[in-house]
């Protein structure tokens, strides 16, 4: 079985990505964070990162995941 992932959001930091990932997981949606973790290497989980962080979900979960992301991240 082929699993296809679709970009859900580009995020300003790993912290936002982790928060959204946890919320999606609580709704039964699997997601994958993609990005270089410069902040982790420097010992920081700051709210911004010079490196692009993106969150990907399975295509069939995209609509539901997008609604959750909109509700959580409408301020960024």
Q: Strand order in 53-58's β-sheet?
A: 5-11, 53-58, 31-34
How far apart are alpha carbons 62 and 56 in whole angstroms? 9
Entry pTM: 0.78
The answer to whether domain 5-73 has CATH 1.20.120 is: no
Nearest to residue 66, comparing CAs of 75, 56, 52, 76? 56
Domain positions in the chain? 5-73
Give the C-alpha separation, 55 to 34, whole Å: 6
Cα 26 to Cα 43: distance, rounded to the nearest angstrom: 27
Mean pLDDT, each 10-residue run in order, the chain (76 residues): 92 91 97 75 52 92 97 81
């Amino acid at each position: 079985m082929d699993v296809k992932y679709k970009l859900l959001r580009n995020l300003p930091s790993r912290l936002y990505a982790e928060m959204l990932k946890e919320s999606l997981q609580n709704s039964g949606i699997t997601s994958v964070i993609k990005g270089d973790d410069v902040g982790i290497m420097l010992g920081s989980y700051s709210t911004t990162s010079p490196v692009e962080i993106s969150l990907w979900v399975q295509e069939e979960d995209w609509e539901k995941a997008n609604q959750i992301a909109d509700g959580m991240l409408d301020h960024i």
